[in-house]
Structure 1
Amino acid sequence: MIKDIKSFCRLFYESTFLPINCYDYASDQSYTYPEDAGFDIIVNNPSPDFLNFKKNPDYFVSDSFTYYGYVESSGRDYCLIVGPVFSTPVTESDTHNFMKEWTIDASFHSRVSHFLQSIPPQSLYSFLNVLAYLHFCINDEVISVSEHFQLERLSQTDKISSVYTEKIMELKENQKYHNTYFYEKEMMKYVQNGDIKRLKELLNSSQNLVEGIVAGNALRQKKNIFITIATLTTRAAIQGGMNLEEAYQLADVYIQDCEHSQNLTYIENLNYSMLIDFAERVAKGKIPGGMSKEIFDCVQFISRHVNEPIQVGDVTEHIGKSRSYLTKKFKKELGFDISSFIMRCKLEESKSLLTFTEKSLSEISSYLCFSSQAYFQNVFKKKYGITPTQYRKQTQQIT
């Protein structure tokens, strides 16, 4: 047992610069270090939270996110209170909140601010180890920090907060902050607007960007960043008018491609392609000049239902206009009738399926709701001058 507790507390402070107060039960006296920082203002007006210590040693975190620790001698001769301690370098806001919590008069602001800024930041885990050390010094008992303080029972938020505070300290010390926010915001704006030209200019510009560390190795880091950008891009494209399901499906395809890759350069190029692809699709979905909102809605409806047995009546019902009114307006604005456009959309979709899938002609014709495979082949050849099989051979050789 330590006989000269006052000297011990002084040496503890001079070694760690962590504020410490010792209360001697027998003499009803307190010893506070540092002695000349006005710390007595605080310990002589203790917070009711100090009454909540339930074991030895113990700790609590105040409303101003300040750590306080408690260690009592086994013979109940005295107790030690360590704190205040912050997990990050103290800011002006921290000082303000601290003084408010302790109802310290504003005239002491300068002294309190200087005092708080002199305290070295500690993570919660480090702080609890300090309490374990003090407990060993005065009670000659070794405790397991994780078991005694039940760290394994801390919520996920507490665990994240502990890591978070360490990272914030590191960032402030190195002055290396995230700077991608405004770049990402501008990038998403161009995707949402379908502004391909400006998006390419932004992506090709020289940017000294500092990204967060979100993985343990370079490949996983690149993939995680890609997934984040894909998520943001999907939201931006949907806000720009892209069909919700199509946007999500497209993002899934890009993310799966990214996950399968083991090449950093490939993922970087894929990221570029994905952004441009989304922007181009948004641009195509924008209402062209001279097209009314009604006809634009017709076009969008037909495009989204190309794999259904859609008829002119389905389109007019969706728009809520008469058949005669809508067919005339459609013909006037686009130069062809609704039935022709429905067939055109189905055939364009068949071209994609022939090029990028191994689906049989029977499967494609059935998927696009043609009356038969033969009919599909006939209208395809009439439109493009070659059979679906010939088209597949040509395009797959290219791709």
Structure 2
Amino acid sequence: MIKDIPAFCRLFYLSTGIPVSCYHIPDESSSSFPEIPYDQSIFIKYLFPGTRLKKNPDYYFAQSLCHFGSIYVSSQKTVVILGPVFSTPVSDSVLHSFMLEWAVSPDARDELAAILSAIPLYPVSRFVQTLALAHFALNDEEINAGTHFGLEDTGIIASISNAHSDHVINARETQQLHNTYRFEQQLSSLIQNGDVLNLRKLLAESAILHQGVMADNTLRQEKNIFITTTTLVTRSAVIGGMDVEQAYNLSDLYIQECERSQDIAHISSLSYAMIIDFAERVSQTKIPQGMSPEIFQCIQFIAHHINEPVRVSDVAEYIGRSRSYLTAKFKKELGFDISHFIMRYKLEEAKSLLTYSDKSLGEISSYLSFSSQSYFQNVFKKKYGITPLQYRNRSLLERRVPVSGSD
């Protein structure tokens, strides 16, 4: 059993990054890690021992979109509060809401922003497991987080089943049946193949689709449809050979843009752009179907280390094969040398950075681990017939963005 709770809290904060406050009830003393620019006991006084927390340990979602965990250490009559913790980055609006909810002085805004921004992001599932670990350390009691916090409760199934039956009957009577399955299959196939031309035709010629009701207002309905479509498109792009991390990052950006929008027409055009964008990216890095798991692993390794000086021997070591074995297998399956593929991947990444970032040629060259900027420019021009700066100027012109600079 831990005796020095403030010491535990300090070490817990240093190892997890989660803010921790502890409050000794008999003498009303408190400690907080890190030190916070407002009343250190504010969370404890608000959350405990009132009605908001009903079990030990427990967690609470605040109006300012953060969550807290509470642990009562009965042997020492001390309350430990974990948090605040956020699942998404702290925006200005969230910061403002947090300051209002917890009565933080405007003078402490900058210091508070720095503290909250430094807190690692924790999804609820991970946070409750961390809370269970802290409870075990402080109270010597092991709990099943899913059962204790009701995350594994299946009681909702019965009510959903009843509602489902009513919906099916009503859909059959009104003939408002979902008719998107075949369209989704065609969409997925075209994205996997990077077939942009036929994808545009499918989007232009698709029949009226009934996608069901997923919200109680039109704007939320369109956003929900966008999110489910983006999920389908992302998975299809990954199957088609797009780098997993790039695909998920691109998906996040499109969904964030959708969530910010209050314009249904914009969401509709954003959906079209998102689908075409994924398909074009798959097309640019198209890999033949029937790829072996070993070669897929190689490509993922190259993609995840594209900003490093990747050598063929590095890739071979990663899959536990010899350089000669990997070179022959790569050439047999994909029809080109692995060293050429590594260079091609770097140059494709360079094209993306030239188009969508304001990084200088030197920064791009350094980021992609070319030996020098001049070497980068030479191999780029040899591959595409124009210099990197000419490519950037042309890309910006096509996007109708003015550009200045010289070769």
- TM-score, length-normalised on structure 2? 0.47
